[in-house]
Amino acid sequence: MKLAVVILNWNGKSLLERFLPSVVEHSKEASIYVVDNNSTDDSVRFLQQSYPEIGLVVNTSNGGFAKGYNDGLKHIDADIFCLLNSDVEVSPNWLQPIIKAFQNNSDAAIIQPKILDLKRPEYFEYAGAAGGFIDRLGYPFCRGRIFQALEKDEGQYNDIKEVFWATGACMFIKSDVFKALDGFDEDYFAHQEEIDLCWRAKNRGHKVLYVGESSVFHLGGSTLKNMDPKKTYLNFRNSLYSITKNLPGKVALPIVGSRLLLDGIAGLRFILQFKFGHCLAIIRAHLSFYSNFRKLYRKREKANFLLKYYSTTSIVWSHFVHQVKRFNILVKD
């Protein structure tokens, strides 16, 4: 099994200086690559001088997370790609449980480890936690993280479990599956493109697993802070993209109508919190979605759609009305 750990970098020399040492020290089972997304800082020179043993792919433009990986991975030969954020610190023996899980689960195409918060290592981290799910309306959440509510890691998710999506902060994917899916959808640019990729993989019968024996520590917010209006825009827009692309029309269209109402309520909530930029971001997200609707609809695969895609009816209602903050209360494992 040929494994490549691939880090996408854009103007992140300081992150490479801080986090590459742990990756190099604890990844003896893999080849390590950095894909540079046309950085304007000294990232490339730093890598060439300090880490000549690391494979370096230099993209000619900054196409964001999606295009950056699509372009870079074309130049890397491996059976499994590990897509690793540049702000992740890995732990000793983080790769062995993942390799074992692939060997023991032939139908698993995508795997993620436990994602813990680097600043508060006893807590799960926002981007992925212990594996991702979505509700009936396409809103994402995780084992260990519901919206901004993060659980403490008390061993409750030290298991191997099939999940709906794996985080792009640390995602292992079989290279042949990545290529068969034509990689990430570049129209997403960044955020939730991994949900779309996993959804398309599941529509084709592949499994996505979470492996809790492997842990990494994510700094988070290195590119966009959790509550940056641009991130709000991308998350709301790209969620609508995924619904349209990955569900039958008779299911997708009513959901989009429901999302118009609920996203509007979210916008009003931002206004009451004096976060006007976030309200504007939601409006812009919907306008972008409607203007691109025909293009998205044409992208829909004609294969079998996975109709049982959701784990709960409405995470918004459960969290904001019933104050549910823990996954095991919301969904019984």
Section 154-164 average pLDDT: 97
- Confidence band (pLDDT; 50, 70, 90) for 275? very high
Q: Please give the distance of CA 151 from its chain centroid, rounded to a whole number.
A: 19
Dist. CA 40–CA 135, nearest whole Å:
40
**Structural domain range at position 238:** 229-330
Q: Which residue has the higher pLDDT, 272 or 249?
A: 272
Q: Give the pLDDT of residue 306.
A: 84
Out of 176, 194, 218, a domain closes at 218
- Confidence band (pLDDT; 50, 70, 90) for 222? low
Q: 29 and 163: one domain? A: yes
- Confidence band (pLDDT; 50, 70, 90) for 126? very high
Q: 237 and 210: one domain? A: no
Q: 204 and 179: one domain? A: yes
- Would you tell me how many other CB atoms lie within 10 Å of the CB of residue 153? 22
Which of 42-51, 136-145, 322-331 comes out lowest in average pLDDT? 322-331
Structural contact between residues 110 and 209, judged by C-beta atoms closer than 8 angstroms: yes
Q: 188 and 277: one domain? A: no
Number of domains in the chain: 2
Q: Give the pLDDT of residue 304.
A: 74
pLDDT at residue 333 is higher than 60: no
Query: What CATH number has the domain bearing residue 124?
Result: 3.90.550.10
Positive or negative, the Cα torsion across 225, 195, 178, 159? positive
Out of 162, 186, 218, a domain closes at 218
pLDDT at residue 72 is higher than 70: yes
- Would you tell me how many other CB atoms lie within 10 Å of the CB of residue 91? 16
Q: 324 and 298: one domain? A: yes
DSSP single-letter state for residue 318: I
Which of 100-104, 107-111, 270-274, 313-317 comes out lowest in average pLDDT? 313-317
Section 281-307 average pLDDT: 89
Out of 162, 187, 218, a domain closes at 218
Q: 237 and 92: one domain? A: no
Does some domain include residue 224? no
Q: 210 and 234: one domain? A: no
Does some domain include residue 223? no
Sheet (strand 140-142) strand order: 132-134, 140-142, 145-146, 149-150
Longest dimension (CA), the chain: 56
Q: What are phi and psi of 30, to 5 degrees?
A: -130, 160
Q: Give the pLDDT of residue 302.
A: 63
Share of the chain above pLDDT 70, in %: 97
Q: Give the pLDDT of residue 331.
A: 80
The torsion defined by the Cα of 279, 313, 306 and 113, in degrees rounded to 10, comes to: 80
Q: 185 and 239: one domain? A: no
Structural contact between residues 32 and 23, judged by C-beta atoms closer than 8 angstroms: yes
Beta strand ranges found along 95-187 (DSSP E): 108-117, 132-134, 140-142, 145-146, 149-150, 160-163, 170-174
Q: 256 and 190: one domain? A: no
Q: 198 and 238: one domain? A: no
Q: 52 and 140: one domain? A: yes
